A and B are shown apart, each in its own frame.
Chain A
């Protein structure tokens, strides 16, 4: 203390800095902090804008898939055409092809147009017949075969209209584009407008999009994600049943029981590496191991599920280990201290505390698997599948599609109507992912405990 220079008595004390004025250093630090806050807010802003743009473009593009135009007309189910022998025998009736139902439908549409009294110049017969979707006659056939007694009666049906007319009401098709289109014509669109005014053509919510299977290139209006939802669901089932128990058990062993030596180090590094392997590599592995070597069927949810299991395992193991590591060691000591065995301490105390973390990691892993496309392309899930797979377990071996692959598939098709379907399928996929994340948050809240 004594060697500090003391102000001489009487002299002015050295000018002290005032607290009222920030010095240069403080100003610089405050400016730096302010800049950093701005960067942060800017980053969040950009992220939010990107999210809004993404969501609005998907929703504006895909909302149309959930509304569909139907033609509701009475159809006279002509017994001579549909049941030539007249005995309502299903085996014989099923020999009548979709083509004949098409003719019945054509007659019904022509009759409906004639009775509506609409007069449009240069309206060709083809324009009238083409009002309904090519899929409509197949639907009618299914309905009749399910209930043969309908033959001979006149029934009211709601049939899908042609994708072009549906597109016209959604703004995708215009009079100008129709003039250049061999599949439609301005006259047909005018007829559609007139029919709509009379209430014969109605646009309503499209449950068929969610329940129908995929449809061919010429019939975008009939395409749905039913098979894809089922296929994705089956794959998630396989992933849930395999990846979760294996992943959690592996992490518990590695984290709590395994000796810490060079081998476990190698395993640890490799698990981290596996998490970073591109997903398409897992697809090639699945193709080689499960299809070529093990001989499992192509396009089957079981193979997709196995591949996604391999892909999800590292994610689940890493997040489970992190959750186990986060449990304070004092809890383990406490359990061991009262004479619990290692296993009792893990299963009675550590695991319940790690549960929220494990569940969150698992659900995020599952969500990742649900949205994965690349490996599924390689094992044949991209195939055109119209048949619904059977109920599990046999259904796991039936061909199926998957939601993200269905999106990819539809974006490859020529008809712009499929773009709308693809966006619609993305919305369905996003709703599923959103629900899974909601479940993760709910479970986390439910299991979270203080310690």
Chain B
């Protein structure tokens, strides 16, 4: 734990990007998320940690309304993005998801070329007026995802032909290409080897300068490495939320302490 190169902890900007108030999520009869209140800051990496099944991924999927695709899921409470309630009737989830990008646990590139993978979002949102602009967006996104140098000569090859770590960075490039404000990452490194994990983590740290990044992870070391803020979930409750350093060095709650010292989880 001590030799981990911790990310810069000082949070430079304190604007609240997402605020959740009394969020409850039910899957049918199961009460999956209980009374979650959290304020996620802009230009910060926030990590959600906790044992399996504690609801951290569920809560993450609430932020871009991906839970809407699960028919039995029901959400109560209020989640606001820049002060606007995203569960308001007038909000179109499709528009929301353009602002709140998502990277999934398993790399899931489209079975299309690398170029088309990245260009898909800008195309459907009409972010470019011509091919040159689209090329520019694709290059910028791939550079942003630290993948450009590896794929610039084979943009027309299928994205599924890349290695696991490259695929995940391609997915990040795809998410970045729609110019989101928030980037949600659901255990982005769980299917990757340590080297690819290191590359993705480095990337996450770079992304912090432009986006508010929320990352779900079951690796406490990863949370400590990449995040400035950490939220600990347990059995659907948000147990503790604070500066990453504080959570790992002087946890306030006994459950947090038990988890980070490896006694539960």
Residues of A within 8 A of B (CB): 259-260, 328, 330-341, 344, 348-349, 353, 449-451
Contact partner of A451 among B111, B171, B177, B178, CB < 8 A?
B111
* CB under 8 Å from chain A, chain B span 121-156: 121, 124-125
Contact partner of A349 among B69, B110, B175, CB < 8 A?
B110
Does any Cβ of A come within 8 Å of B97's Cβ? yes
* CB under 8 Å from chain A, chain B span 61-77: 64, 66, 69, 71
Contacts of A338 in B (CB 8 A): 97-98, 101, 120-121, 124, 174-175, 177-178
| Complex Cα gap A331–B106 (Å) | 11
| Complex Cα gap A265–B179 (Å) | 41
Q: Is the CB of B66 within 8 A of A339?
A: no
Q: How far is the CB of A442 from chain B (nearest CB, A)?
A: 20
Can you list, as one digit per residue, whether each of B174-208 has a CB less than 8 Å from chain A (1) or not (0)?
11011000000000000000000000000000000
| Complex Cα gap A449–B103 (Å) | 23
Q: How far is the CB of B184 from chain A (nearest CB, A)?
A: 8
Contacts of B66 in A (CB 8 A): 333, 336-337
Q: Which residue of chain B has the shortest Cβ distance to A341 in the bound complex?
A: B94
Does any Cβ of A come within 8 Å of B165's Cβ? no
Contacts of B14 in A (CB 8 A): none
Q: How far is the CB of A354 from chain B (nearest CB, A)?
A: 12
Contacts of A449 in B (CB 8 A): 111, 158
Q: Is the CB of A339 within 8 A of B98?
A: yes
CB contact under 8 A between A340 and B175, given known A330-B106, A333-B66: no
Contact partner of B111 among A332, A344, A353, CB < 8 A?
A353
Give me 14 A-to-B residue pairs in the complex whose CB atoms sit less than 8 angstroms apart, sorted by A's number: A330-B106, A330-B108, A331-B108, A332-B69, A333-B104, A333-B108, A334-B108, A336-B69, A337-B175, A338-B121, A338-B174, A338-B177, A339-B124, A344-B124
Q: Which residue of chain B has the shortest Cβ distance to A338 in the bound complex?
A: B121
Does any Cβ of A come within 8 Å of B254's Cβ? no
Q: How far is the CB of B102 from chain A (nearest CB, A)?
A: 4
Q: Is the CB of B171 within 8 A of A334?
A: yes
Does any Cβ of A come within 8 Å of B13's Cβ? no
Q: How far is the CB of B119 from chain A (nearest CB, A)?
A: 11
Q: Is the CB of A450 within 8 A of B69?
A: no
Q: How far is the CB of A261 from chain B (nearest CB, A)?
A: 9
Contacts of B110 in A (CB 8 A): 331, 334-335, 349
User: At the interface, is chain A mostly helix, strand, loop or mixed?
Assistant: helix
A-B CB proximity, top 5 nearest = A339-B98, A330-B108, A337-B102, A338-B121, A339-B97
Q: How far is the CB of A238 from chain B (nearest CB, A)?
A: 34
Q: How far is the CB of B129 from chain A (nearest CB, A)?
A: 19
Q: Is the CB of A337 within 8 A of B104?
A: yes
Does any Cβ of A come within 8 Å of B249's Cβ? no
Contact partner of A339 among B69, B108, B125, B171, CB < 8 A?
B125
Contacts of B104 in A (CB 8 A): 330, 333-334, 337
Can you list, as one digit per residue, whether each of B69-105 has a CB less than 8 Å from chain A (1) or not (0)?
1010000000000000000000000110110011110
Does any Cβ of A come within 8 Å of B109's Cβ? yes
Contacts of B95 in A (CB 8 A): 339
For B104, B109, B110, B175, the residue with the greatest tally of chain A CB atoms inside 10 Å of its CB is B110
Q: How far is the CB of A109 from chain B (nearest CB, A)?
A: 70
Contacts of B37 in A (CB 8 A): none
| Complex Cα gap A449–B110 (Å) | 11
Contacts of A349 in B (CB 8 A): 110
Does any Cβ of A come within 8 Å of B160's Cβ? yes
Q: How far is the CB of A197 from chain B (nearest CB, A)?
A: 68
Q: How far is the CB of B125 from chain A (nearest CB, A)?
A: 6
| Complex Cα gap A100–B125 (Å) | 79
| Complex Cα gap A432–B69 (Å) | 44
Q: Is the CB of A348 within 8 A of B120?
A: yes
| Complex Cα gap A260–B124 (Å) | 28
Contact partner of A334 among B69, B71, B109, CB < 8 A?
B109
Q: Is the CB of B124 within 8 A of A340?
A: yes
Q: How far is the CB of A378 from chain B (nearest CB, A)?
A: 43
Q: Is the CB of A337 within 8 A of B101?
A: yes
Contacts of B158 in A (CB 8 A): 449-450
Contacts of B111 in A (CB 8 A): 331, 353, 449-451
Contacts of B174 in A (CB 8 A): 334, 338
Contacts of A336 in B (CB 8 A): 66, 69, 97
| Complex Cα gap A348–B116 (Å) | 12
Q: Which residue of chain A has the shortest Cβ distance to B171 in the bound complex?
A: A334
| Complex Cα gap A199–B3 (Å) | 102
Contact partner of A450 among B106, B120, B160, CB < 8 A?
B160
| Complex Cα gap A449–B104 (Å) | 22
| Complex Cα gap A328–B71 (Å) | 18
